[in-house]
Amino acid sequence: MARKRKGQPIHGWLVLDKPEGLTSTQALSKVRRLLNAEKAGHGGTLDPLATGILPIALGEATKTVSYAMDGAKTYRFTVRWGERTATDDREGAIIDRSDARPDEAAIRAALPAFLGEIDQVPPQYCAIKVDGERAYDIARDGDVVDLAARRVRIDRFELVEMPDADHAVFEIDCGKGTYVRSLARDLAEALGTVGHVAVLRRLRVGRFTLDTAISLDELAAMDHGAAVERLLLPIETALDDIPALALTEAEAHRLRHGQAVALLTRQDLERLTAIRGAVGGDGIVIALFAGKPVALARVEGAEVRPVRVINL
């Protein structure tokens, strides 16, 4: 006999403003407990030091988590010049010092080299697996982790302010897999000094922004039913870059049951032509009936095949 799940079936996205000091998993557990949700996941890890946008997927929205994690992100962060730490943020032990402090002109001149696609070596303390073991576990044992450079994308890198000679505040727009700690480390090196991330806040993940975010304290103070009704965003919020394909009732029925749908009539071909230019290399669309998601599906020729059925 199957074990009964605990909690209520709640479906959609909640945008959490994660506080400092919690891991993403701990924050997720608190949200799930506060809402008594049956199933939950998060759309992009934040370090305990970091605050800001942590999209929480509830119920069937968990099937779209990978798309949230692929979304473009915006960060605001403060670099502390003159001190390098083992973790490349303020939580690590200081392992190097420098008396050099870059001025505004030098900083602005260095930023363009970090725009576009760049190769970036992840921090020693990160969750990447090396021979089956997390890099941070290897580093905690005192060993040096040999991490290969990864290609990441930086779309915007701006100096926001310089509160004093020891600190500078930046904002970036970046793609998946970017390590802000590595960016701060490498920028400091390019400026002839050392540095680490002192403050980190995520302002955006795809379409998830601070405008619709809520803190854990605010969530705890709300009635659960009101919280769900007022705060929950639709499942398709994470699918902003994926074209939508409207279905008939019969087509929706077939996809829900794992069957392919053939689009062969003239009207069908017009629907396919309308979305084909927007479909990426993987051919994925969000199939909708009466405005509600039915499945993530793949367009193959004149057929639409279900990839992940969304049970609402």
Q: Which residues are catalytic?
A: 47
Query: CB neighbours of 254 closer than 8 A, spacing ≥ 6?
Result: 260, 261
What values do phi and psi take at 73, rounded to 5? -130, 150
Torsion of CA 87, 91, 94, 97, to 10 degrees: 90
Asked whether the CA dihedral 146, 149, 152, 158 is positive or negative, the reply is positive
CA distance linking residue 280 with residue 293, whole number of Å: 19
* Angle between helices 224-231 and 24-35 in degrees, nearest 10: 120
CA distance linking residue 159 with residue 116, whole number of Å: 17
Q: What are the angstrom distances between the C-alpha of 191 and each of 101, 104, 159?
A: 8, 11, 14
Cα-Cα end-to-end distance for the chain = 24
Residue 91: DSSP 8-state: T
CA distance linking residue 83 with residue 294, whole number of Å: 52
The DSSP-derived string for 191-250 is TTS-EEEEEEEEEEETTEEGGG-B-HHHHHHS-HHHHHHHHPBPGGGGGTTS-EEE--HH
Burial class (CB in 10 A: 0-12, 13-18, 19+), 255: buried
Determine how β-strand 292-300 pairs with β-strand 284-289.
antiparallel
